[in-house]
Chains A and B, each alone.
Chain A
Amino acid sequence: MDLSTLLNTPQLLTVSDLYHSFAAYTITGLALGAIYALVALGYTMVYGVLQLINFAHSEVFMYGTFAMAWVVTYFHGTASSGQSLGSTLGLLGVCLVAAMITSALVALLVERVAYRPLIRRGSPKLVILISAIGASFSLAEVMGLRDRIAGWFGLDGKLSNYVSQARNVYSSPITINPHKVFELGGYGVTDVDLTVIFAALLMMVALDVFVNRSRLGRGIRAVAQDPEAAALMGVNSTRVIRTTFLIGGIMAGVAATLYMIRIGSTRNDAGFIIGIKAFTAAVMGGIGNLRGALVGGLFLGVMENWGSAVFGTQWKDVFTFVLLVVILLIRPTGILGESLGKARA
């Protein structure tokens, strides 16, 4: 639909649609937002500790989605199959662990290769930022060239289920039939919706407890508030930075699993849009603030759905980013607007 036909459409704003299916748009928006929030945590934690945007975090997420898809392919081949509840749950458990480990390892790799050597050298922030962008492109391209890379080792035939047509959409051939659990405002809330939302909230609570109650968590807050003073307390900043990347990776792995449950397919550039959205969520909530990432993510997910209900799906990104600009004009530090270090228990 181009602009002129859109403007000539009599019902430009279909508010009644949102009104009648309010619960459906809101619940699915929350589920989407929960995924944004989990990815946003990675951005916000690294920012809190280093005051740097980790542009490679979108790829940390993307590798997690592939880990899940590969695990499913390994157990079921490429044919779609519906499974009994028990075996589906078991499979999802394996997928979750695989995605968490994969994303965490990629995050640690990014820290080790793209960050640590530059931080040790005292490089300017811009240099580190560019290095992270380079890491992002490299990781996305490696995934997109995985057929060739397998070919170097003569494995492209054996692994063809995993690597062939590396630049195309890769589906995870698992069929999860969402079951209606209860009805809310005319919308049948499904077990998938609930799983996604509660898994995200659970991870958030766990992280909050870790950062505010544990010794290493206190070290992270200390580095975020004053790196030199933290060093004088005996905090090993290299270890804190590594832990920060690790946690971000684990959260991105969970997000990747939840994303695949809902969307079911991925691609070597799948991280880009989710990454931008999650980064937006982090900024909206107040970058550097863990709870801000949650608030920003859920808010963005819901707004995106409401926006697409009112303005049409094509306009949802325009709507959400205009909203971002408006929010930052009113509250430049984001909705919650405190740093990771200053966030109080």
Chain B
Amino acid sequence: MLLEVEDLCVNYGHIEAIRNISFSVAEGEITTLIGANGAGKTTTLKTISGLRKVREGKVVFDGTDITHLPPYARVKMGISQSPEGRGCFPGMTVRENLDMGAFVRRDRKSAAYREDIERVFQLFPRLQERFNQSAGTMSGGEQQMLAIGRALMARPRLVLLDEPSMGLAPRLIQQIFSIITEINQQGTTVLLVEQNAAQALRRAHQAHVLETGEIVRSGTGAELSGDESVKAAYLGGDL
């Protein structure tokens, strides 16, 4: 397993944001966490990246306990994240944002670096057109593409995607999800957090349902898509 989360508890002040969560992410797969607003999905990703303090439990990446490592050390190990609400640097151009994504790399002048920029442009041709535009002036969809592209620039082994479809037009949502599949097929392991359960389950190898800070159901994407209670709670009118 590339990532293992064991009995994780995280508090937000006195409120328990997540309780005794355990799951793992297999190398080369797409794993998804679905659930309603406030279920603890974003907290889980932030904790894996090191932005939230762990009260109990462990986070293990590629066999190493990273529970108490600072965020930047985790990026160096190969975990990068496209945060919720995109988190692009508004005062930086697309180019500078992509450079920031590669902050932990020391090979800015190398051919490998240029290849990675090319790869991001292949996935998101829009970014090439907007190369020297300041990120703060771009549309929500473009910023989402930039945030994902930027996360890939670190050459991560595991990329965490927090609500990549949030606030996007339906046509763009389809596009973003097929790009996520493409990223995965190119060899990057993906941990995807989504409210758009139908799409996420269709793309994911493994899936977990979070409810008020706990995992209530786990299975393959196909299994959960067919699960009656998941259908009722999260897929509703979609199917």
Interface residues of A (CB under 8 A from B): 215, 218-219, 221-222, 225-226, 228-237, 338-339, 341-344
Contact = CB atoms under 8 A, between A and B. Distances in A.
Given A232-B81, A233-B100, A342 B87 contact: no
A341 B87 contact: no
Interface string B57-95: 000000000000011100110001101000111111000
Closest A-B pairs by Cβ, 7 of them? A342-B91, A234-B75, A234-B104, A229-B87, A231-B71, A236-B72, A233-B103
A204 B182 CA distance: 46
B211 interface: no
B101 A233 contact: yes
Contact of A344 (B50, B70, B81, B134): B134
A234 B81 CA distance: 10
B149 to A, nearest CB: 13
Nearest to A338: B91
B99 interface: yes
Interface of B: 49-51, 70-72, 75-76, 80-81, 83, 87-92, 96, 99-101, 103-104, 108, 134, 136, 150-151, 154
Given A222-B100, A234-B103, A228 B91 contact: no
B91 A234 contact: no
B100 A236 contact: no
A243 to B, nearest CB: 14
B51 A232 contact: yes
Contacts of B49: 231-232
Given A218-B99, A225-B92, 5 more contacts: A215-B108, A229-B83, A234-B71, A234-B76, A338-B91
Contact of A231 (B72, B108, B154): B72
A234 B154 contact: yes
Contacts of A215: 103, 108
A226 B71 contact: no
A47 to B, nearest CB: 15
A341 B2 CA distance: 35
A219 B99 CA distance: 10
B89 A232 contact: no
B80 A232 contact: yes
Contact of A218 (B51, B80, B88, B103): B103
